[in-house]
Structure 1
Amino acid sequence: MIKNKSVTAIILIAGSSERFGKKTNKNFELLNNKPLFIYSIDTFLKNKYIDNIILVIKKEEEKIVGDELKKHITNNIITLVVGGKTRDQSVYNALLKTKDDIVIIHDGARPLIKDEYINNCLYEMDNYKGVTIGVKSKDTIKITNNDEEVIETTVRKNTWLIQTPQCFDRKILFSSHKKIKDKQNITDDCSLLENCGYKIKIIEGDYMNIKVTTKEDIYIINVFKNNVDML
């Protein structure tokens, strides 16, 4: 249980959206007449442990983000921070704007995040410096070389697909960002702590917490959102 610790949520919507196949930011795609990222903000605003929210954006999208926040959000404790060219740079920019004890990082393009996963992630911060939500892989995963030849097959029962949110001791995450200079193969913040020798705890989530990456994902999200009581 979290006691006497302040928490900042960092929500990322400054990505390039290259794989989405449109020129516009995927986070502005509508789900029941609301942009995707608004759903994530709503969930974090309602969480009893969240003290502050930092929304990481592109500089050129500051006006449209501001307009959408005014339209959909009434309780606005949100600070806008301009992101960098990469995910790790965007997170680092956000870390510079908070002094809270814990940061919880989430992809704005995961609109179906549940409050219970935020809580479960935060509860484990009494025992770990880094915690993430994930799901066990349903498929066999194979590792290949650059010629797409299989060099290794993972053990399925020990293979996880990592999602967000991810929770961290802010000071530890900040120092890990400073320590790891080569971030070319760093695709999430847990990897930074792993490279610095910290153990990461995985909390099992669910398969509805998908990240919208391609246009097909919008259809999947719509099915999940509008038929959740049937699942």
Structure 2
Amino acid sequence: MTRCVALVVAAGRGSRFGGEIPKQWRDLGGRPVLRHSLAAFAAHPSVDAVRAVIHPDDRGFYDTAAAGLHLGEPIAGGPTRQDSVRLGLEAIAELKPDLVLIHDGARPFVDGGVIGRVLAGLKDHSGAIPALPVHDTLKRAGATGLIEETVPRAGLWRAQTPQGFHFPALLAAHQAAIGHEWTDDAAVAEQAGMRVVLVKGSEDNLKITTTEDLRRAGARLAEPGDIRVASGYDVHRFTDGDHVTLCNLAIPHDAGLEGHSDADVALHALTDALLGCISAGDIGRHFPPTDPRWKGADSAIFLAYAGTLINGLGGEIVHLDVTVICERPKVGPHRAAMAARTAEILGIDEHRVSIKATTTEGLGFTGRREGIAAQATATVRLPR
């Protein structure tokens, strides 16, 4: 059973934004606005599947925005946002999710903290939404622009997305709301009697509505980013064979390595390090060893996917360092080729990859030549 599905709604035409291309497909930091959101949910360790709801005419834009991410087929939206959400919910019903997160595709800066707080709120409530308290004084004015009253701001909050719900209840609520128009999914849930709790939102989780919003979002991406450092570690035992695969290269040896995929211990450690930099869980979460699709798979697929997630979040791989631990085979003669191949897979400069090797002086399982271990450190720069 799929526990949590993220539904990213991007079927709107962006009438307030203007221009020939809807805002979710506009460029933001070298990537479509929507790609930022899709990558954030694809990377979150508690999100099991991601689906987008798009306008049927936008498939070409979507394919560009979703390239390289492991997403299901996009869902055709309806004439209104509420229709699009309902159609999305009905389409994912076959997955039988427990939870669903509904997110606006024009909010590119959603982060793992906001997603995690929404999911935590669903432990004790049927709905949870991120929100920020209203601090400005509110005025109600008439058509002439004259102030008619000051609105008390006590207890008022600014709602954001993703809005999370227990799936069966939200699907029923949306189906019951056909013919009525509510401003967000929490309003639909409220009308159905669902208990919706507020959790802490983020000032960075802005929604792009106007060209000025897009300009500010671009300026934010141009600011100095956060430096993230994470490590990875992997081990594979020797088995019958005539070579081992290290950094996607077949290196002659009198044994092979045992594993569900190609047992590339170096790339597995490195993939985990990259996933760690974006708090995206480990390699097993994205490529479960119980899944027959990955039987004998080329581990370059795993590494490239981790790089795609980082790219989708607007990140940059600064440096990679891998240490292979074994008595045999000798890694030294292959280090340059291993670094070059790793850089090629990720599309980065070769000087950003360091490959080293060491032994354990005959100690432990590597010393007894029972297998090979690898540890890796990745350094990534992410937007703030």
Secondary structure of 2:174's aligned partner: helix
List per-residue Cα deviations over 1:119-138 (Å, max 9, x = no partner): 11001101111111111123
Unaligned runs of 5+ in 2: 227-383
> Partner of 1:111: helix, strand, or coil?
coil
Partner of 1:10: 7
Letter in 2 for 1:166: Q
CA contact (8 A) 2:8 2:103 kept: yes
Distance in 2, matches of 1:182 and 1:160, equals 27
What is the one-letter code of the residue matched to 1:8? V
1:27 aligns with 2:24: yes
| Aligned residue in 2 for 1:112 | 109
How far 1:109 sits from its partner (Å)?
0.8
Identity, in percent, stands at 27
Are 1:215 and 2:203 matched, yes or no?
no
Aligned to 1:196: 192
Structure 2 letter corresponding to 1:124? G
**Correspondent of 2:71 among 56, 77, 80:** 77
Alignment of 1:69-218 (within 5 A): 69-70=66-67, 74-98=68-92, 99-144=96-141, 153-184=150-181, 186-218=182-214
**Alpha carbons 2:2, 2:48 under 8 Å: kept:** no
Which range moved further: 132-141 or 209-218?
132-141
8 Å CA contact retained: 1:112, 1:225: no
The C-alpha deviation readout for 1:145-170, integer Å capped at 9, x for no partner, is: 67766565433242111110100111
- The C-alpha deviation readout for 1:87-120, integer Å capped at 9, x for no partner, is 0110011111222111101111111111111011
Q: Which residue of 2 aligns with 1:51?
A: 48
Q: Which runs of 5+ in 1 are unaligned?
A: none
TM-score (norm 1): 0.89
How far apart in 1 are the matches of 2:134 and 2:219?
21
Cα distance in structure 1, aligned partners of 2:72 and 2:148: 46
Deviation at 1:179, TM superposition (A): 1.9
- Amino acid of the residue matched to residue 65 of structure 1? Y
Alpha-carbon deviations, 1:32-73, whole Å to 9, x = none? 110010000111011001111110011011122113322xxx
Query: What is the CA–CA distance in structure 1 between the aligned matches of 2:144 and 2:28, rounded to whole Å?
Result: 39
Q: In 1, distance between residues paired with 2:172 and 2:44?
A: 27
Q: CA deviation at 1:144?
A: 5.0
Counterpart CA distance in 1 for 2:169 and 2:142 is 33
Per the alignment, in what secondary structure is the counterpart of residue 43 of structure 1?
Answer: helix
Aligned-partner SS, 2:46: coil
Given that 1:11 and 1:56 are in contact with CA atoms closer than 8 Å, whether structure 2 keeps it comes out as yes
**Amino acid across the alignment from 1:64:** F
Q: Which residue of 2 aligns with 1:67?
A: 64
State the SS of the aligned residue for 2:165: strand
SS at match of 1:18: coil
Classify 1:147/1:179 alpha carbon distance in 2 versus 1 (closer, same or farther; 3 Å).
farther
| 211, 221, 226: which one aligns with 2:222 | 226
Q: Distance in 2 between matches of 1:183 and 1:77?
A: 31
Alpha-carbon distance in structure 1 between the residues aligned to 2:37 and 2:46? 15
Highest RCO, 1 vs 2 (Cα 8 Å, sep ≥ 6): 1
TM-superposed deviation, 1:221: 0.8
Tell me the secondary structure at the aligned position of residue 216 of structure 1.
helix
The answer as to whether partners of 2:9 and 2:104 remain within 8 angstroms in 1 is: yes
Deviations 1:199-224 (A, max 9, x none): 22111212221110000001111222
Whether contact under 8 Å (1:131, 1:166) holds in the other structure is yes
In 2, are the aligned partners of 1:53 and 1:79 still within 8 Å (CA)?
no
What is the aligned length? 224
- Code of the aligned partner of 2:76: V
CA 1:159–1:32: 2 relative to 1, 3 Å: same
Query: Whose radius of gyration is greater, 1 or 2?
Result: 2
